[in-house]
Every structure is written in C-alpha cells, then in structure tokens.
Amino acid sequence: MAVHMITLFSALVGLYVIVRLILPARMNGFLKAVLSLLVLAGAEKLLLIRALYGTMGAFMPQPVQMAAGFLHAAVFILFLLTLARDAVLLALWPFRRKARRRTIFYGKRERRTASGLGAVALTLAALLLTGYGMKEALRVPTVREVRVQVPGLPPALDGLRIAQLTDLHIGPVFNGIWLADVVARTDSLNPDLIVITGDVVDGSPSRLAPDIAPLADLRAAQGVYLVPGNHEYYSGLQQWLPVFRQMGIKTLLNENALLTVRGTPLALAGVTDKAASRWGLEGPDPQKALAGIPEGVTRILLAHRPALAPDSAAAGASLQLSGHTHGGPAPEPGGEGLQRRLRQRRLHGGGDAPLRQQRRGPLGRDAPASLRPFRNHPHYPERKRPQRRVMRPRSLLVDMARKEMLRFRSL
C-alpha cells in the first residue's frame, strides 16, 4: 500500500511539472517528449529502481546513484517551486486587469509566461538548490549536543552521555573513508553509551564489508547497541546480524538489555522496523521490548521510526531515540508524517511541552526535525537538516539530565 502511495504521489508530481512548465513552453514536440520522460523518470526514481533491481534499497554504482538522486531531488524541488508560483498567481488573479478574460492554469497567456524567463528561473533555482543540497549531504556530519530532561531520572544517571548515530546509509555514496571520520568524531566525544537507530547499510555484507569495518572501532563504556531500520531489511538483515555481532555491536530486536551505570540500573530496549513484515519477520513491539524490566528503572527505547512514540509511551518508555525522517521534509505514505506533524504541533502548544531550543526559540513546528514529549516522556529523533531528498546523516550527543531543559549546541 505504501509503495503504491509513493508511486501515485510521484506520478502526480511529475505530471504537474510537465503540464505547468513543459507543455506550455515554445519548443518542438520531440524536445517536449524527451523532457517529459526525463521528468517522469526522475519523479518515479524509486519505482524504476525497484523494477530494475527488485528492491528500492538496491546497491547501484556511485555515478548512477548520484545522478538518479540529483534528478529525483531536482524534479521534486521544481515541483515545489512551481506550486508556490502557481499559488501566488492564483492569489493575485482577482486583482489583475481583465482577470475574467485570462486563463489561470493553461492557455495562450500562460503559454507565453511559462516559455519565458519565469520557467527558466524556476528550473535554474531547482538545479542550484539540488546542487547545494547534495554538497551538504556529502559532508561529514556535524555533531549536535542535546541535554534532555527525563522525569524521575536517578541522580547517578544525571549527565549520562549517549552518542546516537542514525541513517548512515553506508553504500556506494557514503563509503568506508567517510565512515571512519564519523567514527573518529564519535569516539572523541567520550560517550558513556553509543546507539545506532537504523538505516546503517545500503547493500549486502559481501559488497560493503570493507566500508562498514570502521564501525568496529566505536568505543563506549556501556557498549554499542543497534536497532534495524527499513534499509537493513532491504539489504538482508539476517546476513547482517552476525556481521554486527563480530564488530561488537549488540542488535536489539524487540528485546532489552539491563545496564549498570555508576551502580544504578538503566534499561535499554530496541524494536524492529515495520518493514520486517514484508520478509515474514516480527514487526516492532514496544510492549515485548520493554517486558521484564524491573519497576522504577529508567527505560530508553530505540526505534527507527519516530511515529512509534505513542506506543512506546503506552508501553512505559521514559525516552525514545529515533531517526528515519531525515528532518521530516516530506510526509510519510498514508498520511503518517502529516499526523506526526499535527501531533507535534499540538503537544508543543500545551503545558506538557516545556522544551526550548537554545538561541532558536520554541521547538515544535518551527524545528527542522520533529522533537516532542509524549505525556511525561520526552521523545525526539536524531536531528537532520532538511536537504530536499538528498540528506546527510547526523551525529547526536544526548546528555541526560534531571532538571535542565533541552538545548542544542553545534560542536
């Protein structure tokens, strides 16, 4: 169902760009056909990859992946720019002279407009924004330091430092050299605990063994823990589990580990991803993941998708760490992303949301990533800067506190 929704939405995006920019332009029919096919191919990138490789998480050569990603991002940015332009035209239409005699969306007057500098400017802007987004995406990620209030946190856990890595997507684009720098930066933070919240790999162990090797150098007093994201299932999770184990990374699949930090117990739980059901594997179950934890123990739950937060809260989690959204630039299929945004806005508008971001004002709808509490449980995914479909992963340092409010600081 989700795949069909993505395919339908992508088709509508491509058709909108074709109807509003290409068809009204003054050019011969052959060039219009070529450009229209190019736009549709860019919009339906995921469908084409699945048709050619059998999965949307296919391992492709770096030049192919870069070109496909650039075209895909450019088409979607061009769609957004065109949509914004048309919204402005529609808003101004009643105030234009002889408005009743002019067409809004398609006609002779609009042919002249679409074939002129406006259409060229929109296309150039889309290409420039895509280029900037890819440049930012390929940089080694910066580190965000976060201090989060956890109600009922024992004094011994005050100041516990957790380094979170998420959505690394190691593959043809992000390789072993890039990952080695990420690992070195993470170790330099001297965290008490390192967690990885999914989408680590984009390919099989046979292809990515040398590139993923630097993960074995991650060091933390309480160990390194991982939960799978949807891309681990695309890439063959069962093959990856022994690889992670050999590197000293413990994978949590609807289970938990009881840690002892400064003589105080701390429960770390992790769930699978809902993509597991496509392979006949167990889906995420927060209740099962948190089962057996003694009463009164602080419970941190790792889940790739932040939308699981209500279920995690109901199961008794004190804090959820997530990734997946890449900053939340687009709603997830089926309206899940939109519902998450609406819940986020509502919660941050009430008295149960005392979180504030240092030097940037209140969190919530103004934040580039969804970060919200559920009841008494602060919840946030790993923060990423929106990069219009071409987005880089981020490192996050979580400093748990009993009384201080949440704040961010770039390192």
For residue 11, the one-letter residue type is A
| Residue 325 or 398, more confident | 325
Indicate where the chain has its CATH 3.60.21 domain(s).
143-410
Alpha carbon 142 to chain centroid, angstroms: 16
Residue 177 structure tokens: 């050299």
What is the model's pLDDT at position 100?
52
Computed over every residue of the chain, the mean pLDDT equals: 77
* Spatial CB neighbours of 224, under 8 Å, sequence gap ≥ 6: 194, 195, 196, 215, 218, 248, 249, 250
**Region 399-406 average pLDDT:** 42
What is the model's pLDDT at position 355?
26
For residue 330, the one-letter residue type is A
Residue 29 structure tokens: 């029919």
What is the model's pLDDT at position 331?
42
CATH topology of domain 143-410: Purple Acid Phosphatase; chain A, domain 2 (3.60.21)
Closest CA to 308 of 259, 364, 270: 270
* Spatial CB neighbours of 75, under 8 Å, sequence gap ≥ 6: 13, 14, 17, 39, 42, 43, 126
Residue 51 structure tokens: 């048709």
pLDDT digits (tens, 9 = 90+) for 352-379: 332 222 222 332 223 333 333 333 333 3
**Region 42-58 average pLDDT:** 73
Work out the end-to-end distance of the chain between its first and last CA atoms, rounded to an integer number of angstroms.
41
Residue 160 vs residues 145, 186, 266, 403: alpha-carbon distances, Å:
12, 15, 11, 13
Between CA 93 and CA 404 the distance in angstroms is: 51
What is the model's pLDDT at position 98?
56
Between CA 145 and CA 164 the distance in angstroms is: 10
What is the model's pLDDT at position 402?
46
pLDDT digits (tens, 9 = 90+) for 187-224: 999 999 999 999 999 888 998 989 999 999 999 999 99
What is the model's pLDDT at position 33?
92
Residue 383 has pLDDT above 80, yes or no: no
